[in-house]
Structure 1
């Protein structure tokens, strides 16, 4: 429901006809813990990801491991690690331009407009609403009908772009099994990359936009048995979309951290085969 502000007219819990309670909230539990934890979790990822994206070093390890924060590495600066540039180098090298500038903005916008993340930061950062029985600090609410929140409706288009990026991440994980000098090898880093890309796929295909693409416009499921089966499978995954959203934030950081530590020589990648 959309409400518009009118001068002199109270809204929300202060509106006429509502119980007049002087306290901001009558809740005695620590209702602020979930939104605070969400804010901290999102902030940690944004700060870590931002620092690593612009660090422009320690992104390629053992001549085959490319961190997802730098994939695809298409900057001219990738010449320092030519094995990381699987798709060529054509973006100018500049301290303010990430090496993966071709994909990082779309990945960020895909997550920023994700239905779960909207709920997460609306309730935590924007405090709309903060929690049940806790008044909002805002006097008006227009939903996603005005700028800038109306741009949230572009989520489905970022989903299609993310599918392409997921294929690139998968390619990175597959080619990492081949070492330039030793041929086919399997190391702990390979397992890290594979686990990360598998979870990224689960997050991507469990997206609401993917579910809609599979069966959202169908009028008769009986006439489309294949799409119906895909729709039911994705619907089951969709119930855990919030879980995949948080897990992949963690695996992205851990994967990048592993590659960085190997690239710096802090740890050694354990070879399992080869």
Structure 2
């Protein structure tokens, strides 16, 4: 199979002057494994989250005030009134998630996240698939045209993600209840663990690092902001790990609450 003919306007590996190699790559290792696993991981979350978001059932445990994060805030008129901590504004139709105010912004926050860009650029968009592997695109415009130009709005989605994290925190606090008053169970452990990890993922964001100290010219004149920037920078180095961990904890939290809410299992109670 012959190599593609170089286009005068092409860029990257197809640009004029680059070696015309027939093989897609000369690598002999399993370079395709990482993109494949990334695709499978992202697909698993997208499928699960989509099904649960439109299920519109088994999201609220009345006895213990457990509300799954996939339905928070629950603002549809179809929501169980006790689960609607911030009112009901949206019509109850099957094609509109009960948490339609938060889910689109959380999705945009993750889609525009610097790590997720790397993940799906390499696995889905294949730009590039891996080092020393030719990408299938003859031209490259970067993030200068729609839809990729939307990546520039990441910092604004970050602010909304902080607000939603506050709402999730409030949900976790309200869940310390039982029919007789204060209560504590396995569901509380799962909810609190999930919200803590969501905070770590959100605050380890590159936009948070920029907000706390990115525009400072003299750190010595702003010791408090410098200290905050230093702490954010430390967790920023593990932003990739937190990105994957929180996908897992979101599904685990939702799945546990679904089982309890549907009566499949009973919540393991420690107090109350």
TM-score (norm 1): 0.94
Aligned residues: 266
Task: Identify unmatched segments of 5+ residues in structure 2.
Answer: 1-5
Aligned-residue RMSD, C-alpha:
1.3
1:77–1:9 distance in 2 versus 1, CA, 3 Å: closer
Match of 2:67 in 1: 66
1:187 corresponds, among 180, 185, 199, to 185
What residue in structure 2 maps to residue 214 of structure 1? 212
Shift in alpha-carbon separation, 1:27–1:164, aligned structure 2, 3 A? same
Secondary structure of the structure 1 residue equivalent to 2:212 = helix
Q: Hey, what does 1:24 align to over in structure 2? A: 24
Cα deviation for residue 88 of structure 1 reads 1.4
The aligned counterpart of 1:103 is: 102
Q: How far apart, CA to CA, are the structure 2 residues paired with 1:11 and 1:162? A: 36
The equivalent of 1:248 in structure 2 is 246
Shift of 1:119: 0.5
- The structural deviation recorded for 1:120 is 0.4
Task: Kindly indicate whether the alpha-carbon contact (under 8 Å) linking 1:54 and 1:96 is maintained by their aligned counterparts in 2.
Answer: yes
Measured against aligned partners, the alpha-carbon deviations of 1:192-218 in whole angstroms (never above 9, x if no partner) come to: 000000000000000000000000111
Matching residue of 2:90 = 91
Is contact 2:7-2:15 (8 Å) kept? Answer: no
Is the Cα contact below 8 Å between 2:59 and 2:71 reproduced in 1?
yes
Separation in 2, partners of 1:106, 1:62: 27
Residue 84 to residue 24, structure 1, CA distance change in 2 (3 Å): same
The 2-side partners of 1:22 and 1:125 are apart by 23
When normalised by structure 2's length, the TM-score is 0.95
Q: Which residue of 1 aligns with 2:234?
A: 236
Write the distance in 2 (CA, Å) between the matches of 1:219 and 1:233. 18
CA contact (8 A) 1:53 1:99 kept: yes
> For each residue in 1:54-99, what CA deviation from the matched residue of structure 2 results, as whole angstroms up to 9, or x when unmatched?
0000000243100000001111001xx2221111112111001100
- Structure 2 matches for 1:51-200, cutoff 5 A? 51-63=51-63, 64-78=65-79, 81-179=80-178, 181-200=179-198
CA deviations on 1:37-56 (whole Å, 9 max, x unpaired) are 00111111111101100000
Distance 1:8 1:229, change over 3 A: closer
Provide the C-alpha distance between the structure 2 equivalents of 1:143 and 1:14, rounded to a whole number of angstroms.
16
| Alpha-carbon displacement from aligned partner over 1:94-152 (angstroms, at most 9, x marks no partner) | 00110001111100000010010001000000000000110010001111011111111
Q: Deviations over 1:215-258 (max 9, x none)?
A: 01111101100000000000001000010000000000000000
d(CA) in 2 for partners of 1:8, 1:227: 49
